[in-house]
Amino acid sequence: MTNPGATSGRGQGGPAALLTVVKLVGERQGLRLWGPLGFELMPGRAVHVQGPNGCGKTTLLRTLAGLRRPALGEVCLPGPCWFIGHATPLAEDLGAFANLRLWLDLAGAAAVADAELHGWLQHWSLPAERPVRQLSAGQRRKLALAPLTLAPRSLWLLDEPFDALDHAGCAWLAQAAAAHLAGGGALLLSSHQALPTGFPPCDAWWLGARGARKAAPAVAEAA
């Protein structure tokens, strides 16, 4: 990584890419949103995808996570990733603990002890049993982000992860991201907001109809 325009052609022997994208094109209803994109995301690297409403950031992240078929091109994920969308589906009548337990079990992380889940909920003062439909937007966001550190995976795909998150939550995510990258992980996130203080440096990409390029200030794009 991180040339958003082309793959590197990296040879054997170096660290393996955690995400490889080849000639990827995203469309909605026959109209091109972005692409063709080609890049490799290497361990320790982070990308911040930016662009105006509707340019296709969510579509890109969902495509990278394998939740949406690309119009053209290929995505290669050598291992499982965490995709945390901005509209995280929760079992609304279940409590936070039951949601987390279910989520981790389905994701193959049944070995994570109940005590760790309770520890997480207590850390954020989240009620374990109350139906999650009664939680605030920020509480739901903290719940959605829990698997990142409870059951680590080497690639994080985060769609607007700072939405509704308070200062303490943003600081936690910054610290968790720094540790993740230092440990050889990688991440790609979308956000309209500036990254919070302490968040590790990211390559900034601007997503648009001609593909992706290093981000210019939003005002320059709009002009």
Ligand X SMILES: Nc1ncnc2c1ncn2[C@@H]1O[C@H](COP(=O)(O)OP(=O)(O)OP(=O)(O)O)[C@@H](O)[C@H]1O
Q: How far is the CB of 31 from ligand X (least distance, A)?
A: 8
Q: How far is the CB of 60 from ligand X (least distance, A)?
A: 7
Between 55 and 195, CB nearer to ligand X: 55
Between 5 and 54, CB nearer to ligand X: 54
Q: Which residues bind ligand X (CB under 6 A)?
A: 28-29, 33, 51, 53-59
Q: How many CB atoms lie within 10 A of CB 112?
A: 18
Q: How far is the CB of 57 from ligand X (least distance, A)?
A: 4
Phi, psi (rounded to 5 degrees) for 188: -135, 125
**What residue ranges in the chain does DSSP mark as E strands?**
19-28, 31-41, 46-50, 72-76, 81-84, 155-159, 186-190, 203-208, 211-214
Between 28 and 123, CB nearer to ligand X: 28
Between 21 and 42, CB nearer to ligand X: 21
Q: How far is the CB of 61 from ligand X (least distance, A)?
A: 8
d(CA 71, CA 60): 11
Between 85 and 196, CB nearer to ligand X: 85
Given a contact cutoff of 8 angstroms between Cβ atoms, the answer to whether 206 and 51 are in contact is yes
Given a contact cutoff of 8 angstroms between Cβ atoms, the answer to whether 132 and 92 are in contact is yes
Between 55 and 96, CB nearer to ligand X: 55
Q: How far is the CB of 56 from ligand X (least distance, A)?
A: 4
Q: How far is the CB of 100 from ligand X (least distance, A)?
A: 26
The number of C-alpha atoms within 13 Å of 61 and in the hemisphere containing its C-beta is 26
Between 24 and 96, CB nearer to ligand X: 24
Q: How many CB atoms lie within 10 A of CB 31?
A: 10
Q: How far is the CB of 65 from ligand X (least distance, A)?
A: 13
Q: How many CB atoms lie within 10 A of CB 130?
A: 14
- Give the tokens for residue 77: 């994920």
- Greatest Cα pair distance, the chain, in angstroms, is 53
d(CA 158, CA 48): 10
